Amino acid sequence: MNERLVSLRYRYWPDHLVGEILSKRWTETAIPAIVLVIVAAAFSEAIPGFLSAAGLADTARQACEIGFCVFGMSLVIIVGGIDLSIGSIFALTDFCALFCLDVLGWPVWAVIPATLLAGALLGAVNGILIGYFRLRAFITTLITLIVYRAAYDLLIFGHSNQIAAAFPDIPIWNFIGGGTIFGVPSIVLVYAAIAIFGHVFLTRLRPGWHVVAIGGSRRSAFNSGIPVRRTIAQCYVASGFLTALGALFFAARLGTVGGDIGVGLEVTVLTAAILGGISLGGGKGSVAKALIGTLIVLLITNGLTTLSAPGGVNRMVLASILLIAAMIDIRWVKNRNRIISKVYVSPTYHAMPPIPATDPDSGTPFALNDRLRDVTEIGVGRIEAPEDIILDGDDNLYAGSRHGDIIRFFPPDYERMEVYAHIGGQPLGMAFDRNRSLYVCVGGMGLYRITRNRKVEKATDETNRSLRSVNDDSRLRLADDLDIADDGRIFFSEATVRYEMHEWPVDGLEARGNGRIICYDPNTETTRTVLRNLKFPNGVCITSDRQSILFAETWGCTVKRYWFAGPKIGRVETVLDNLPGYPDNINLASDGNYWLALVGMRCPALDLAWRMPGFRRRMAKRLPVDEWLFPNINTGCVVKFDEQGRILESLWDLGGVNHPMITSMREHRGHLYLGGILNNRIGRYRLAHADPDFVHYDRRWGITA
C-alpha cells in the first residue's frame, strides 16, 4: 500500500523539472525580475495611477534615456571595465545637441549625427586610454568624469543663455522628444531596436562573444587571439555613443542645459547595472539584466518622488532596496549551481521482479559457465574503450576508441592496426549501410558517417524539440547504437537526454525513462524522435521481417520490439523481460537469432534502491558522487535469444579473466568478436556450429562475396 503511494507520487509528480528549470541560464535573472515585480506592485498599490498609460509613457521616456546609458555601462562592465564618465558625457552631448540646434542653427538631420559622433569621440578618449594604453578603467574614467564635467561647466557658462532663450519649434525635433507612433513613444521604439540588437550581438554574434570572453578572462582571450585592446576600446566608444543617444532624446524632450544635468548619473546607471545582475569584474551580463535594473531604479526613484517623500527618506529607501536586492542576488548567483547540483538528480520509482537465477546448477539458460575464458585477445593495451566492433566483407575489424578514433585492425592476425578515421568523440554503436559507408553513433556528438574513402561526415546531431520538455532536448547528447532499415532510414537510440555520456551511472540512479529512439532519414536528411521516455535505450537491431527493430532498455532490463512499418506500425511489444543483467547492444547471429550483451548483472541492493526513490534522493543530496550506488558493470555475459523471447544460450567468463565486461559482440565467419567500453582489448571467441561465411552486413544487404 505504502509502496503503491510512492509509485503514484513519483509517477505523476515531475521532480526532474525543478533541476531543469534552475539550470536555465535565465534563472540567473530571477531575483532582479522578482524585485522588479514587487517594486512595481508596491508602488501601484501606494500610488493610484502609477502604472496607468500616461504615467507609464512618461516613465518610459525617462527609462529609455537612462536605459541607453545603462546599456553602455553594461557593455563596458561586461568587457571587464567601468565607465564613470557617463554622466559627464551625457551632459556634454546634451549641450552639443542643443548648441548645434539653437546656436549654430543646424538642421536636425545634421544635429543627430553630430551629437552621436561627439559621444563616440568622448568615449573613444576613454577607449584609447584604457584599451590601447592599458590604463585602469576606474581611475581613467574618474579623471575624464572630472575633465568632461569641467569642460561642460565652462561651455554652458558662455552659452546657456542663448540656449535657454531659443525655442526651436521643429516638428521632427519635437517628435523625437515627445512623439508617439501608435501610442508608443518614439524613444521606446529606438530603445527596443537597440535592445534586440544588443541581445543578438551579445548572444549570437562573434564580436559579442569576444566581449564576454575578454570580460571572463582577459588573458585567455588574448592568448586565443582575440583582439583584446581593440575590442575594449570599441566598447568604450559604444558606451559614449549610447550615452549620446540617451542625451539626444533628453535634449529633445527638455531642451535645457542646467548645471546639474548628468551629475550623479553614473551612480544611477551603475546601480541599475549591478542591480540587474551584471557583475563587476566582467564576463557576465545580458540585455535583459540591464533592462530590469533600469526599470527597478527608475520605478523606485519615480515612485518615491511621486509619494513626495522627503529627500532623505528617498535616499534611505533607495539604499535599503539596493542593498537587500544585491545581497539576495549575490547569494542566489553564488548558490544557484550548488542548488542545481543537489536537486538535478531526481530518482523515481522503479520496481523489478526478483532476479532470475544464474547459478551454474540452476538449470536456467543463464546458468554460469566458463566458455569465454578461452577467447583470444586483439590489440591488448593498444586500444581503449571499444564499445562496439564491426567487420566488413574483407575481414577488416573496426572499433571505436576513447580518443575519438575509429581504429582498423587488419586480417588475418589483427596485429597491425591504423587509425581509420578521426571523429573527435567517443564512437559507440556502428553499422554499414548498403554502400558500405560506416554509420557511427558518437557520444556527445550525434550520428556520423564515414564514407568508403574515409571521409567523416555529420549525418545528424539534432532532432525535433519536444514541446513539453524544459531542457532543450533537440541536441543529441548520447547517441548509442543504430541499425539501418531497407529504405535507408536509420534508427538509433539516445540513451538519455538529461546527462552527458560520462554521467551515465547517474541516469541509472534516476531510473526514469530519459532516453528515446530517433529516426534519421538520409533521403530527406530529416531527424525525428519516434519513441520517448525509455529507460536508457541501448542496442538496436533490425528484425527478420524488416518492419521492426529490437531495442534494449538497459535500466528496464528488457528488450522490446518496435514496428516502424507494416500492419503493426507504431506498436511496441516486450520481447525479453526481467533479464538478470543490464542489456546493451543487440546484433544478428548467423542462425537468424540475436546476440545480446549484458553489460553488467543486476544486484539486489540496486533493485531494492530502485524501489526507494527517497533513499536515492537523500543519497544524491548528502553524499559525494563517488560514494553513490553504482550499477554493477564488472561482470557480464553474452546471451543468444530469438524473436519469440526465448534465451537459447549464454556465454560467461566466470572468473573475469579475459572478458568480464561486454558491451557489444559481432559474429563474423564463425567467430564472435567482443567489445567493452571499459576494456583495453577486443575478444575473439570461436563459435562451434556457426556459419563460417557469415558477414553481418553482407548478409543484411544481400551482398555475396
Query: Which of these segments, 92-100, 186-194, 279-287, 605-613, binds another protein (CB under 8 A)?
Result: 279-287
Residue type, 259: G
Q: Smallest gap, in angstroms, from Cβ of residue 313 to another protein?
A: 5
Residue 386, helix vs strand vs coil: coil
CA-wise closest residue to 131 among 118, 142, 140, 143: 140
Separation between Cα atoms, residue 574 and residue 450, nearest integer Å: 33
User: Which residue intervals of 255-280 are DSSP H helices?
Assistant: 265-275
Determine if 129 is a binding residue for another protein (CB under 8 A).
yes
Query: Which of these segments, 89-97, 318-326, 449-457, 599-607, binds another protein (CB under 8 A)?
Result: 318-326
Determine if 131 is a binding residue for another protein (CB under 8 A).
no
Q: Are 351 and 610 in contact (CB under 8 A)?
A: yes
Residue number, 86 or 531, with CB nearest to another protein: 86
Q: Smallest gap, in angstroms, from Cβ of residue 429 to another protein?
A: 44
Give 181's Cβ-side CA count (13 Å radius).
Answer: 7
Query: Which of these segments, 45-53, 135-143, 624-632, 642-650, binds another protein (CB under 8 A)?
Result: 135-143
List the one residue from 38, 181, 205, 316 that touches another protein (CB under 8 A): 316
> To the nearest 10°, the Cα dihedral for 131, 136, 140, 142?
130
Angle, to 10 degrees, between the axis of helix 311-343 and the axis of helix 613-622? 120
List the one residue from 27, 62, 314, 451 that touches another protein (CB under 8 A): 314
Separation between Cα atoms, residue 670 and residue 379, nearest integer Å: 20
List the one residue from 172, 323, 569, 648 that touches another protein (CB under 8 A): 323
Binders in 430-489 for another protein, by CB under 8 A: none
Query: Which of these segments, 75-83, 99-107, 295-303, 683-691, binds another protein (CB under 8 A)?
Result: 75-83
List the one residue from 40, 117, 135, 307 that touches another protein (CB under 8 A): 135
Separation between Cα atoms, residue 403 and residue 410, nearest integer Å: 20
Bridge partners for 572 per DSSP? 562
Residue number, 277 or 556, with CB nearest to another protein: 277
Residue number, 336 or 568, with CB nearest to another protein: 336
Determine if 330 is a binding residue for another protein (CB under 8 A).
yes
x-or-dash pattern for another protein, window 34-73, by CB under 8 A? ----------------------------------------
- Give the E-state strand segments of 211-314 in sequence order: none
> In a 10 Å sphere around its CB, with 0-12 CB exposed, 13-18 middle and 19+ buried, how is residue 597 labelled?
buried
Give 90's Cβ-side CA count (13 Å radius).
Answer: 31
Determine if 26 is a binding residue for another protein (CB under 8 A).
no
List the one residue from 170, 181, 313, 648 that touches another protein (CB under 8 A): 313
> To the nearest 10°, the Cα dihedral for 407, 410, 415, 416?
-70
List the one residue from 205, 267, 569, 625 that touches another protein (CB under 8 A): 267
Q: Smallest gap, in angstroms, from Cβ of residue 330 to another protein?
A: 6
Determine if 192 is a binding residue for another protein (CB under 8 A).
no
Determine if 277 is a binding residue for another protein (CB under 8 A).
no
List the one residue from 162, 320, 335, 533 that touches another protein (CB under 8 A): 320
CA-wise closest residue to 157 among 263, 258, 247: 258
Query: What angle is formed at CA 459 by the lines to CA 458 and CA 462, rounded to 5 degrees?
Result: 95
Separation between Cα atoms, residue 595 and residue 295, nearest integer Å: 64
List the one residue from 134, 230, 416, 646 that touches another protein (CB under 8 A): 134
Separation between Cα atoms, residue 610 and residue 508, nearest integer Å: 9
Number of residues written out for the chain: 705
Residue number, 190 or 318, with CB nearest to another protein: 318
List the one residue from 123, 240, 282, 446 that touches another protein (CB under 8 A): 282
Residue number, 17 or 327, with CB nearest to another protein: 327
Separation between Cα atoms, residue 658 and residue 435, nearest integer Å: 35
Q: Smallest gap, in angstroms, from Cβ of residue 208 to another protein?
A: 20
Tell me: cis bond preceding 412? Omega within 30 of 0 counts: yes
Residue number, 144 or 658, with CB nearest to another protein: 144
**How big is the site for another protein, counted in residues (CB under 8 A)?**
58
CA distances from 78 to 13, 72, 88, 230, 660 (A): 40, 10, 21, 15, 53
- The radius of gyration computed from the CA coordinates of the chain, to the nearest angstrom, equals 34
Query: What angle is formed at CA 596 by the lines to CA 590 and CA 602, rounded to 5 degrees?
Result: 160
Residue number, 312 or 381, with CB nearest to another protein: 312
Find where cell 574483407 sits: 394
Determine if 138 is a binding residue for another protein (CB under 8 A).
yes
Determine if 337 is a binding residue for another protein (CB under 8 A).
no
User: Which residue intervals of 540-666 are DSSP H helices?
Assistant: 604-610, 613-622
List the one residue from 30, 142, 456, 485 that touches another protein (CB under 8 A): 142
Q: Smallest gap, in angstroms, from Cβ of residue 241 to another protein?
A: 21
Residue number, 156 or 540, with CB nearest to another protein: 156
Q: What's the grid cell of residue 624?
A: 559525494
List the one residue from 334, 468, 622, 689 that touches another protein (CB under 8 A): 334
Separation between Cα atoms, residue 341 and residue 335, nearest integer Å: 10
Determine if 338 is a binding residue for another protein (CB under 8 A).
no
Residue number, 11 or 315, with CB nearest to another protein: 315
Query: Which of these segments, 97-105, 219-227, 585-593, 676-684, binds another protein (CB under 8 A)?
Result: 219-227
Q: Smallest gap, in angstroms, from Cβ of residue 218 to another protein?
A: 6
Bridge partners for 490 per DSSP? 484, 520
List the one residue from 13, 17, 38, 136 that touches another protein (CB under 8 A): 136
Contacts of 418 (CB under 8 A, 6+ apart): 407, 408, 410
List the one residue from 40, 147, 190, 339 that touches another protein (CB under 8 A): 147
Separation between Cα atoms, residue 366 and residue 356, nearest integer Å: 8
Determine if 222 is a binding residue for another protein (CB under 8 A).
yes
Q: Are 555 and 536 in contact (CB under 8 A)?
A: yes
User: Which residue intervals of 496-593 are DSSP H helices?
Assistant: 504-510
Determine if 233 is a binding residue for another protein (CB under 8 A).
no
Binders in 355-394 for another protein, by CB under 8 A: none
Determine if 81 is a binding residue for another protein (CB under 8 A).
yes
Q: Which residues bind another protein (CB under 8 A)?
A: 80-82, 129, 133-140, 142-147, 149-151, 153-154, 157, 217-219, 221-223, 228, 264, 267, 270-271, 274, 279-282, 310-320, 322-323, 326-327, 330-331, 334
